[in-house]
Amino acid sequence: MRRFTAVVPIAIAAMLATAACGSDDGDNQAADDGPVSLTVATFGEFGYKELYDEYMKLHPNVKITERITKTEDHHKNLAAHLATNTGAADIEALEEGWIGQFTAQPSKFVDLTEYGANDIKAQWPEWKWNVGASKDGKVIGLGTDAGGMAMCYRSDLFKKAGLPTDRAEVSKLWPTWEQYIETGKKFEAAKVAGAHFFDGPTVMYRSILGQAPVGLYDGDNVVVDSNPDVKKAFDLSAQAVTSGLSARAEAWTPAWNAGFAKGTFATLACPSWMMAYIQTQAKDASGKWDIADVPGGGGNWGGSWLTVPKQGKHTKAAYELAKWLTAPEQEVKVFQKYGNFPSTLTLYEDPAIKDFVNPYFNNAPVGQIFSKSVTTMKPQYLGPKAGDINTQIINGLTRIEQGKQTPDQSWQQVLTDVKALL
């Protein structure tokens, strides 16, 4: 993962170090007229490196440092920083599965409407804006990308397995997840050297769950034990594992990253932001990846928000950067270079999005694919424990993959572990 680290003149090092670490007394507006150091904490691939460079050219007094961490660790670290009121970045990204934990504590963040965020509210779908707000209406986050769903696949590996390679024909293989698993069995029967059908259960589980009208929460109630769609996502993912389809590459680990480059798995459920991750990890695989319809049709997984913790020293400057990064002009640039699909309503009919094809993915019409997916999605309510609950479910699937438990045994432990969180 890339880090962009600013060089700070020695004469102002002490002042800028204080700005980067944050403080208890909120925004020091006077300092914003002089040198300002801002730290942005993210996860995965937001595609912001070139934008940081551009912003610093536009604002020579601003120096930006990016801090990138694994998704789960990022959110756990932020929770600790908020609890101790120290250590948070000036801008903290929040992922869809974790944001409910933080909108439940709005006093720790700047209400962005105080800096004029209501003036740009029309950029986003109502659901995207609302998810970034607390129950009492305090807006803590500006939307970056939106999830949308598709299925990324390696056409070269499909060819070796004797399967169709054209994206329209591939889509016909798996209108349902059950048929996706059956296709996987055919792929495995072909014994393609060094490759399995899919990466592992994490991404599959999250994708299936994201297609359900109700997920882990129904209102304020956790319904893991009573919602059949949660159990369905678990069972189908477990079935894919026990059928021998998995490359056993745990998501967001070095083995997973290496798997992209080596071609050790042929399919990967693909929210729009996953395109950026694939292109970063498998730079030499351009034209080998393609994009088809996701089994089950539609769905949503992911999308993020940029927030400004109150403990930062330059909260107004941080808001201005977050506002600029999430503006339509910047979201188009990120989409065209990295694939993260914008959450900006006004862009969905813009030819820069609608007509865009991605040469890395064999010129797949990604603008059309994800525009359709995003405009038809119905986002789930994600409560404050959603991230931790998903972690326990994924841990259960990992135990199955490692042969430590049967699916039934693992599910019973999942229920116990989830209950312990509440």
Q: What is the DSSP string of 117-141?
A: GGGGGGGS-HHHHHHTB-TTS-B-E
Residue 14 has pLDDT above 60, yes or no: no
Has residue 229 got a pLDDT over 80? yes
- pLDDT over threshold 60, residue 16: no
| Average pLDDT of the segment spanning 291-299 | 89
What is the Cα–Cα distance from 204 to 70, expressed in whole angstroms? 19
Give the pLDDT score at 12.
33
Q: Same CATH fold, 147-300+378-421 and 32-146+303-352? A: yes
Residue 202 has pLDDT above 60, yes or no: yes
Tokens representing residue 136 in the block: 């009492």
Q: What's the confidence (pLDDT) of residue 32?
A: 60
Per-residue pLDDT band for 31 (boundaries 50, 70, 90) equals very low
Three-state DSSP at 260 gives helix
Q: What integer pLDDT is reported at residue 241 of this predicted model?
A: 98
Does the pLDDT at position 161 exceed 80?
A: yes
- What ranges do the domains of the chain cover? 32-146+303-352, 147-300+378-421
Top-ranked range on mean pLDDT: pick from 73-77, 96-100, 371-375? 73-77
Could you please state the CATH topology (level 3) that the domain comprising 32-146+303-352 is classified under: D-Maltodextrin-Binding Protein; domain 2 (3.40.190)
What pLDDT is attached to residue 23? 37
Q: What mean pLDDT is predicted for residues 395-403?
A: 97
> If you average pLDDT over residues 365-389, what whole number do you get?
83
Contact 96, 301 (CB under 8 A): yes
Asked whether the predicted pLDDT for residue 391 surpasses 60, the reply is yes
* Mean of pLDDT values over 34-40: 95
In the chain, % of residues over pLDDT 70:
91
Which residues are paired to 307 by β-bridges? 92, 141
What confidence tens digit (pLDDT) does each residue in 340-372 have?
999 988 888 899 998 999 999 999 999 888 877
Mean pLDDT of 207-230: 95
Check whether 132 has a pLDDT greater than 80. yes
Number of C-beta neighbours around residue 244 at 10 A: 11
pLDDT for residue 382 is more than 70: yes
- Rounded CA-CA distance 369/21 in Å is 41
Q: Which of 146-150, 173-177, 324-328 has the lowest mean pLDDT?
A: 146-150
pLDDT of 78 higher than 60: yes
Q: How many alpha carbons fall within 13 Å on the CB side of residue 119?
A: 6
Q: What is the CATH number of domain 147-300+378-421?
A: 3.40.190.10
CA distance 270 to 167: 14
Find which of 283-292, 298-307, 380-389 is predicted with most confidence, using mean pLDDT: 283-292
pLDDT at 237 over 70: yes
| pLDDT for 69 | 94
* pLDDT on residue 411: 98
Phi/psi zone of residue 166: left (φ > 0), alpha (ψ -120 to 50 degrees), beta? beta
pTM, rounded to two decimals: 0.80
Quick one: DSSP state of residue 175? Answer: S
Backbone angles phi, psi at 13, to 5 degrees: -60, -45
What does the block give as tokens for 74? Answer: 């990022």
φ/ψ of 75, rounded to 5, equals -70, -35
What local confidence, expressed as pLDDT, does residue 376 receive?
A: 66
Instruction: Give the pLDDT confidence score for residue 26 in this predicted structure.
Output: 41
165 vs 44, higher pLDDT = 165
